[in-house]
Structure formats: C-alpha cells, structure tokens
Amino acid sequence: MAGIIIAVCTSEKKQTKKINVEDACLKENYGITGDAHSSSNTHRQISLLAIESINKMRDLGLNVNPGDFAENLTTEGIDLVSLPVGTNISVGEEVVLEITQIGKECHTRCAIYQQAGDCIMPKEGIFARVLTGGRVKIGDKIKIV
C-alpha cells in the first residue's frame, strides 16, 4: 500500500486552519519545525488526513481544502485509518513516522462540525511520532515500512 503527499501544512497557533507550505523539515521526536502542534512531550507530533476523507466533506457541500482540518500531511492513495497503531510509514527519502493514534476526541465542536453536523478528523485523522527526521514535500511517496 502506497500513496503520495499532496499537501504539507503548518500553523503558528493551535485551533486554526493550517496553511499549505508545500515542504517542511520534520525533526526527530518533535514534529514539523515551526508548527504549533510540534512537541517532544506528545505522541501526536504529526497529523495526517487523506484527501479521500476531505472529499467526503466536500460531498456534503463544504468548501474545504488540505489544512482546513489542521492536519500536517494530506495524503492520497493510502488508507490511513486501516493502519494499526505501531505501524511505521516512510515519507519521501528520509522520514519515518510511527502511527500512535487513530482519530481523536473532539472536545469542542469545530466550525466544520457546526456547518455540516459532522467532522472527519476525529474519526479518520491519524497521528504519528517522528522516528527519523528530514524534509517532506508535495509529491513524496508515503508507504508502509
């Protein structure tokens, strides 16, 4: 199973949409340099969401794009939610991530939930720890190690 990276997104503040920066440096046991969610004190250093999941929200009539769900990496062609916790995935030439969590509890109803009555990130977003750092860019392959 393999896919590609179609967006690399960051934000300076938590609880905001992320901006597609096209490429970024992932630091081992930290996350994306400069991203608000990066920390060595968490197992959720990187978040991933498939464009196929975003398209489900588009099908409900929402105008949403990569980064709007606060995900760092938007993928295409890999079934993220089917990957068990503990799975290692490689991104590009250098980066290795370990999946640490599938979905998340949504403590507050985000703007997307308010608009559509649903949000996909709590069910279909995944989180990972950075095992091996390096650069990630749009077009990089993502695959199970």
Q: What is the pLDDT of residue 117?
A: 52
Q: What is the pLDDT of residues 104-137, one digit of tens each?
A: 665 555 554 555 455 566 678 899 999 999 999 9
Q: What is the pLDDT of residue 132?
A: 98
Q: Which domain holds residue 98?
A: 2-144
pLDDT (tens, 9 = 90+) of the chain, 145 residues, equals 799 999 999 999 887 789 999 999 999 999 999 999 899 999 999 999 999 999 988 888 888 899 988 899 999 999 998 999 999 999 999 999 999 998 766 555 555 455 545 556 667 889 999 999 999 999 999 999 9
Q: What is the pLDDT of residue 116?
A: 47
d(CA 83, CA 3): 13
CATH code at 119?
Answer: 2.40.33.20
57: left (phi over 0), alpha (psi -120 to 50) or beta: alpha
How does 94-110 read in b/e, with b if 16+ C-beta sit within 10 Å? ebbbbbbebeeeeeeeb
Decide: 89 and 140 in contact? Cβ < 8 Å: no
Please give the tally of structural domains in the chain.
Answer: 1
